[in-house]
Amino acid sequence: MKEIRLPAKTENLKKVIDFVSSELEIHSCPLRAKFQIELAVEEIFVNIANYAYRPEVGEATVRCSVEGEPLQVTVQFFDRGKEYNPLSREAPDTSLPLEDREIGGLGILLVKKNMDTIDYEYREGKNILTIKKKV
Amino acid sequence: MVVTQKREEKHLVLTLEGRLDTTTAPQLEEVLKSSLGGVTHLTLDLAKLVYVSSAGLRVILGAQKQMSKLDGMVVKNVNETVMDVFEVTGFKEILTLE
């Protein structure tokens, strides 16, 4: 598994996306799946950047593997911030009329809808989020 | 992302090109803040928009809420990948798509 470690700041989003994208490109991941995975990676990384260490800045580690036949993409996120399980959050109501709509929770919804599995664990002081998708 | 503006009296057309994500959403928010004065009808042309995340949705929702009090907002030329995001999040129902 390849790995990138960097300060969890939204300014570093591009680095994280480029890291994952280049792994996907090496394995000729179809464009549509690549877009869906990038979307999930953005939503998770930005969540860590905005909340994990607030108001401080800490580090995040992102690991990525693309292997098997059919191709299975696995991306793992590690941070040492506050314990937080994004899966515990209540799903937003996507059928509400315009005036009642809020944006909270849409990010994690996009992760769930675009990936096959998403697992959270808190181990040895680390939040570990693992997302997988067959492409 | 590149945002191109075209104003015809009270109608503003914004053409978005590239990626509307956490990094670029503030740019669109800024354009909206500075350009909507006197505008009653807004069109977002997304033909060249290849990617949108929840940060972009937040700005689009804000614009939709603001314009719904006036003559409205139309979103046109949405490609397949962006439409997927609108569909999953229920934005397809609250936006006027053309």
Distance, first Cα to last Cα, chain A? 18
Q: Is A100 on the interface with B (CB under 8 A)?
A: no
Which two three-digit tokens encode residue A87? 């899966």
Which two three-digit tokens encode residue B97? 């798509």
**CA A5 to CA A94: how far, in whole Å?**
35
**What does the pLDDT average to over B72-92?**
96
User: Alpha helices of A8-71 — where are they, by DSSP H?
Assistant: 13-26, 31-47
| B24-58 pLDDT per residue, tens | 999 999 999 999 999 999 999 999 999 999 999 99
HSE value, Cβ hemisphere, 13 Å, CA-based, for B23? 17
Record: contact A98-B64, CB cut-off 8 A: yes
Q: Count of domains in chain A? A: 1
Domain ranges of chain B: 2-94
Q: Is A113 on the interface with B (CB under 8 A)?
A: yes
Q: Is B81 on the interface with A (CB under 8 A)?
A: yes
Whether the model pTM is above 0.80: yes
Whole-number pLDDT of residue A101: 82
Architecture of domain B2-94: 2-Layer Sandwich (3.30)
Per-residue pLDDT of chain A (135 residues; tens, 9 = 90+): 999 999 999 999 999 999 999 999 999 999 999 999 999 999 999 999 999 999 999 999 999 999 999 999 999 999 999 999 999 888 888 888 887 887 778 999 999 999 999 999 999 999 999 999 999
Question: How far does B38 lie from chain A, in Å, by closest CA?
Answer: 22
- Domain with residue A94: its CATH number is 3.30.565.10
Domain that holds residue A102: 2-134
**What does the pLDDT average to over B9-38?**
97
- Contacts for B50 with CB less than 8 Å, ≥ 6 apart: A35, B18, B19, B79, B81, B82
Question: How far does B46 lie from chain A, in Å, by closest CA?
Answer: 16
Distance, first Cα to last Cα, chain B? 22
CB nearest to B54's CB, from A13, A94, A103: A103
